[in-house]
Chains A and B, each alone.
Chain A
C-alpha cells in the first residue's frame, strides 16, 4: 500500500501561487480559507526560498491527537481526513498543527469558527465517494477518480510533488544528484519523522 505524501522542492518553487489558485477553484473553497499557501522564507534576501505548504498528512498526526471529538481518521494510504459532521470548530487542531493547515470559515464571532476545513489530498471526506454531500463539504474527490492532487499535478515547475512517498523521494533524490544541491524536504522530519538524505 502506498503512503501518500507531499514534497515541495524549494529550489524549484517560483512562488507563482498557481497551486493555491488551482486548489481554491477545484474545491470551491470559500473566501478566506487557504487549504494551500506559499510561504517565502528570507523574502528579498540572499537565500530566498518559497515553499508551498498545505496539510502534510502527518504520521501520528497531532491534529487527530488533540481533537476533543476525535473527528479525524487516517486512510489506508496514510491520509489524514476529518468529518465535518463531528467537528465542533474548537480550533485545537490549529494550535497543534506544525504547518498551520486547519482553516476556519470565521475567524472570531465568540469562537464560533464553523467547521474546520483543510487539504484533503483531493480525497474528499467520510461521505460516499463522489457524492454531492462530499463535494459540498470537502470538495472534489480526485483520488476516487484515479487522479492525484491538482496542486501538484498542475505545478508549472514540478516543484510540488504528490504521490507515494518512496517514489517522490526518489525523484527528489535524482534531482539533487543531477543539479548538485537541494534545500531538503521541507517539513518531512516534523510530519513523517524522516528526512531525505542524498548520498
Chain B
C-alpha cells in the first residue's frame, strides 16, 4: 500500500515539474517560430547563386582549424587578377619606360649638368656611416626592385628567353632574395631617417625659391640650398614614407594571413606593387641625377668628399655653415 502511495506521489511531483518547465520550453520555441518567419526553412529556400549575390562572397563554418579556408567563394579574386595581369603590367611598364625615355631625352638634348669650377680643395659631405647607410639601402633596393619586377615581367620577357625551368630556378632565388634582403632594406631606411631627418625639414623661403627656380636646371643657375636642396628633401621624404609603406605591406606579405583574410592580402599586394613601381620610378630619377645627370655629384656618396667649389655652387648655405664652425 505504502509502495503504491509513493508511486502516486512520485507521479504528482513529475507532473508538477513538467508543468513548471512548460513556460521555459515554450519561450525559446516561440522565439524560434518568430525567427523562422524571417528565414524560409524549406529545402527550396537556399540558392547558391542568390547567396553569392547577396553576400558578395560565401563563407561558413569549417571543421579544420584554418579560418582562411572557411571562405567558400570569393569573387574579389577576379578583380585582383585583372589588376595583377593587366592594370599593373601596363601601368608599371608605361611608367618605367616614360621615366627612362624622359631622362634619356634630357641627357641627349641637354647633357649632364656641368661642374662649373674646380678648386681642388675637398670638403667632407657624407661620413662613413652615412655612406654605409646609403649603400646598404641602395644595394638591397636594387635587388629588391629587380626581383620585384621579375614577379610581374619575368614570365612575359625573361621566360621565353631562358626557358621555364631555368626561369623557375632563377625566380626561386629571386624570391629568397626578395624575402631576405627586405630586412637590410628596412634597417637602411630606418638608419636614413635617423641620420638625415634633421637636415630635411622644409626651410621657409629657401626651399620654395629653389622649387620655383626649378632647381636652376632650366636657366643654369644655382638657387640657394642648405645641406639638402628642396629636390633632395622631396626624395628623402618619399623614400622615408614609401619605405615605411613598403616595409609594412612587405611584412604583411611575408607573414600571410597573420593580420588579414584573403581579401585583405589582395589589397596589401596591390599597395605593395603600386608603391613599389612608383618607388622604382623615383629612384631611377635619383640614380640619374647622382651619376650621369650631374658632374661631381657622385663623389658625395662615392668617396664622401666633394670639391668645395662644387659644394659652394650647389649647397651654398651648407658650405657657409660648415666653414663657420
Contact = CB atoms under 8 A, between A and B. Distances in A.
A34 B81 contact: no
B215 to A, nearest CB: 39
Contacts of B119: none
Given A46-B39, A66-B84, A69-B155, A111 B168 contact: no
Given A34-B69, A89-B175, A184-B49, A47 B41 contact: yes
A46 B36 contact: yes
A38 B63 CA distance: 8
Interface string A147-183: 0000000000000000000000000000000001101
Q: Which of B49, B68, B257, B258 has the most CB of A within 10 A?
A: B49
Contacts of A195: 49
A65 B63 CA distance: 31
B152 A181 contact: no
B55 to A, nearest CB: 9
Given A88-B172, A100-B74, A69 B164 contact: yes
Interface string B31-62: 00001100111111111110110000011111
B15 interface: no
Interface size class of B (residues with CB under 8 A): 35 or more
6 contacts: A62-B81, A68-B155, A69-B167, A100-B71, A110-B179, A186-B72
A76 interface: no
B68 A100 contact: yes
Contacts of A10: 46, 48
B198 to A, nearest CB: 33
A75 interface: no
A25 interface: no
A41 interface: yes
A91 interface: yes
Contacts of B253: 91, 111
Contacts of B321: none
B43 A11 contact: yes
Interface string A70-91: 1100000000000101111111
7 A-B pairs with least C-beta separation: A86-B168, A46-B41, A43-B61, A184-B48, A181-B44, A41-B60, A39-B72
A173 B312 CA distance: 85
Contact of B255 (A83, A98, A108, A181): A108
B60 A100 contact: no
B75 A111 contact: no
